[in-house]
């Protein structure tokens, strides 16, 4: 068991396209170069990002929240042991990220590598289908989740689930991503 759960059709094609449109028409000042805890370094992460906060309850937040509520319950039903740890919740901040051809989060990483021990799970929704690579590779399991429109992936935030993007040489990829963290 690898605790990586994939939920297809978690988000409809129409909603995925709406989130991509939101990203594409957002003012340039709302977008920033992808960064890690070490700052901006395109050798590690090469993307264009927007950070949102669920507390703002924008139209986009209201699309994502119910999806995460539904599927985290499915995750908890399958992995019941997670119900016995200290209480946790959806992290307020989350990102929409755009990766042009050849761009990716190239560096293998986990979601608490920067010392953020509050994170317990990560989530990612592929907003478009990429047919020329473009997925996410979990290095410890040699598993690649393909970028399929509307696909939600949930996995543990720890070193056991080190992962990196698989750059598409020809296609653009959009994702929505964030975390669950201890209260």
pLDDT of residue 37: 79
Helix (H, G, I), strand (E, B) or coil at 163: strand
Q: Which mean pLDDT values do the consecutive 10-residue runs of the chain (183 residues) have?
A: 97 98 97 90 93 96 97 98 95 98 95 82 98 97 98 96 97 98 93
| Rounded Cα gap, residues 80 and 74, in angstroms | 10
Over its C-alpha atoms, the chain yields an Rg (Å, rounded) of: 15
pLDDT of residue 98: 98
| Rounded Cα gap, residues 105 and 118, in angstroms | 22
Look at the alpha carbons of 117, 39, 96, 99 in this order and tell me if their dihedral is positive or negative.
negative
Judge whether 147 and 8 are in contact, CB under 8 Å.
Answer: no
Helix (H, G, I), strand (E, B) or coil at 98: strand
Residue 30: what are its φ and ψ, rounded to 5°? -85, -10
| Rounded Cα gap, residues 22 and 153, in angstroms | 22
């Amino acid at each position: 068991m690898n605790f990586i759960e994939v939920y297809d059709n978690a988000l409809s094609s129409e909603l995925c396209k709406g989130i991509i449109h939101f990203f594409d028409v957002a003012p340039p000042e709302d977008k920033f170069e992808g960064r890690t805890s070490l700052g901006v370094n395109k050798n590690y992460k090469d993307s264009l990002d927007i950070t949102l906060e669920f507390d703002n309850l924008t139209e986009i937040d209201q699309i994502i929240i119910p999806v995460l509520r539904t599927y985290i319950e499915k995750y908890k039903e399958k992995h019941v042991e997670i119900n016995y740890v200290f209480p946790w919740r959806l992290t307020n901040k989350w990102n929409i990220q755009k990766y042009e051809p050849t761009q990716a989060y190239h560096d293998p990483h986990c979601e608490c590598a920067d010392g953020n021990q509050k994170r317990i799970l990560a989530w990612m929704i592929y907003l478009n289908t990429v047919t020329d690579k473009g997925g996410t590779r979990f290095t410890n399991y040699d598993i690649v989740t393909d970028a399929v429109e509307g696909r939600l992936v949930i996995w543990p935030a720890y070193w056991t689930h080190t992962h990196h993007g698989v750059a598409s040489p020809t296609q653009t990829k959009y994702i929505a991503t964030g975390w669950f963290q201890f209260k």
